With several copies, the nearest count.
Chain A
Amino acid sequence: MIEVLYFAWLRERIGTGAEQIETTAPDVAALIAELKTRSPGHALAFADPGALRVALDQELADSLAAPLAGVREVAFFPPMTGG
């Protein structure tokens, strides 16, 4: 069981900011493939995964190939616009 978080327009398209997911996906790309099947909103949010950013346990991941072993919190969001 992992906690999946969504921010900004991902959160809006999916309709929630957090959900608990039961998954055996080995990496981020596989998790995205699973999430896309959950609703049309999910499919829309993940239409272009390359444009998104992913954080694993609050650390930015380098790529969609990052493994999920041991990860408890996965966050998806658009490029950050802080400062």
Chain B
Amino acid sequence: MLRLQSEPFAPGAALDAFVTAHPGAGAVVSFTGHVRDEGGRLVALEIEHYPGMARRAIEAQMTAARARWGLSGVQVIHRFGTIPAGGPIVMVATAAPHRAAAFEAAEFLMDHLKSRAPFWKREITADGPGPWVEARATDEGALDRWR
């Protein structure tokens, strides 16, 4: 299941719903990403996205992960718009019979969301909109693991 939304979400409620939806799974992994305040410098992140492509790209990544690791379930929630420091940005959950598959699939999805899903982050400080966050070479490099 994929949710693209501007509203906040509760990671715990999302995890419980996911677990309930996949009762046979032995292993469930979740990743939740939150806005870091960078030592108080950041007030919020503003996240711009390309709606049609975001849905297509993430669904393709979910389908790939499901097939490659034999997942019984996969869920992605990704927000856009203005997210205050501490707020949740993204959540990935994977369900599989064993832990290695669930962990790897969640990492695969996060690595692809970072560099292959059309979202762009901009810093919002007390002075207003700041610079766009630059892509990190380590994030691009992380994709090599999955080739």
Contact = CB atoms under 8 A, between A and B. Distances in A.
State if A and B touch, Cβ cutoff 8 Å.
yes
Contacts of B53: 55, 58-59, 75
A60 interface: yes
Interface residues of A, number: 17
Given A8-B48, A58-B52, A58-B56, A82 B118 contact: yes
Contacts of A82: 49, 78, 90, 113-119, 121
Q: How large is the interface on B (under 10, 10 to 19, 20 to 34, 35 or more residues)?
A: 20 to 34
A73 to B, nearest CB: 8
Contacts of B119: 80-83
Nearest to B52: A58
A60 B116 contact: yes
A77 B120 contact: yes
Contacts of B117: 80, 82-83
Contacts of A7: 48, 50, 118, 120
Interface string A29-43: 000000000000000
A80 B90 CA distance: 15
A46 B50 CA distance: 19
B135 A80 contact: yes
Interface in B126-147: 132-135, 139-140
Contacts of B114: 80-83
The 10 closest A-B pairs by CB, nearest first: A82-B119, A79-B135, A8-B120, A58-B53, A83-B113, A83-B114, A82-B117, A82-B113, A81-B121, A81-B133
Interface of A: 5, 7-9, 11, 55, 58-60, 75, 77-83
23 contacts: A5-B50, A7-B50, A8-B122, A55-B50, A58-B57, A59-B53, A77-B50, A77-B118, A77-B120, A78-B135, A79-B134, A79-B135, A79-B140, A80-B114, A80-B116, A80-B119, A81-B121, A82-B113, A82-B118, A83-B110, A83-B113, A83-B114, A83-B119
